[in-house]
Amino acid sequence: MSLQIYINGTFYDKENAKISVYDHGLLYGDGIFEGMRSYSGKVFRLSEHMDRLYESARAICLQIPISKEQMEADVIETLRRNNLSDAYIRLVVTRGAGSLGLDPNRTSNPQVIIIADHIALYPAEYYETGLKIITASTIRNHPAALSPRVKSLNYLNNIMAKIEGQQAGCVEALMLNHKGEVAECTGDNIFIIKREQLLTPPKDAGILEGITRNAVLGLARSLGIPAQEITLTRHDLLVADECFLTGSAAEVIPVISIDGRPIGDGKVGPITKKLMTEFKALVHR
């Protein structure tokens, strides 16, 4: 059976799932998205993802044509139609088809697209041995240009940094902001552990406020691990005891090296291991 793709209330075989080439999501990256995970048939933090999606839409003056409640139901139905229990869900809302020009008033019929499939963002062994990452020269988009809290379809900034990482033989890259402070990686939020404290950049560092990031902060506090959202520099990462990344697709994944320099003893640290274990338990509750 072919994968079933949801577009505006109708399900299509993967091969027949199409939108207009005049859609401004394609022409200009004019749209928003969410990436979610389901575990044992339950979408992790679904309501939080919906809140972020609709806030992103409001921030860019995009009217989503269905309610949050209907969207949640459609996400769950997409999983059911594809007989998926543990899956990755990509939800996309575009501005809709229009003319060859930037004017959003010339678009109509925003497209709501839901894809449910399997994903393996990183090889399984990386969760055991850890990632090696580099610092990209491409900086995070200036927050005064477009708020990083809008999860827009235009990811070229992240993609260029990703290319730098790949050219250096790494699967991920660290991005600094316009002040030279640590922001996030190309697709994940970043954490360090120093003297048994968990530290991560604050929202005003130019990051996307990750759903998994917030879940890990909550987990740490429930475990009695001091956790702070605090400005970090590359120096702080280089002298950290441990480091890891978080994201809906990546979950919690350790980092053992930055720019060829080991983090701590160059192995996955005990607090990182603890949070990885606790996160796996959390998503199945």
**Secondary structure (H, E, C), 219-262:** HHHHCCCCEEECCCCHHHHHCCCEEEEEECCCEEEEEEEECCEE
Model confidence band, residue 120 (pLDDT cutoffs 50, 70, 90): confident
CATH of 4-117, one of 3.40.50.720, 3.40.50.300, 3.30.470.10, 3.10.450.50: 3.30.470.10
Mean residue pLDDT of the chain comes to: 96
Decide if 151 is catalytic.
Answer: yes
Burial 175-209 (b: 16+ CB within 10 A, else e): bbbeeebbbbbbbbbbbbbbeeebbbbeeebbbbb
Q: Give the model confidence (pLDDT) of 84-106 as tens digits.
A: 999 999 999 999 999 999 999 99
CA 64 to CA 71: how far, in whole Å?
A: 10
- Please tell me if the domain spanning 4-117 has the same topology as the one spanning 125-283: no
Q: Give the model confidence (pLDDT) of 33-44 as tens digits.
A: 999 999 999 999
Task: Provide mean pLDDT across the span 61-67.
Answer: 97
Q: Give the model confidence (pLDDT) of 213-256 as tens digits.
A: 999 999 999 999 999 999 999 999 999 999 999 999 999 999 99
Q: Are strands 31-39 and 42-43 parallel, antiparallel or unpaired?
A: antiparallel
Instruction: Give the per-residue pLDDT at 282.
Output: 97
Domain ranges of the chain: 4-117, 125-283
Token output for 227: 């956790």
Set 14, 42, 132, 151: catalytic member? 151
CATH superfamily of 125-283: D-amino Acid Aminotransferase, subunit A, domain 2 (3.20.10.10)
Does residue 1 have a pLDDT over 80?
Answer: no
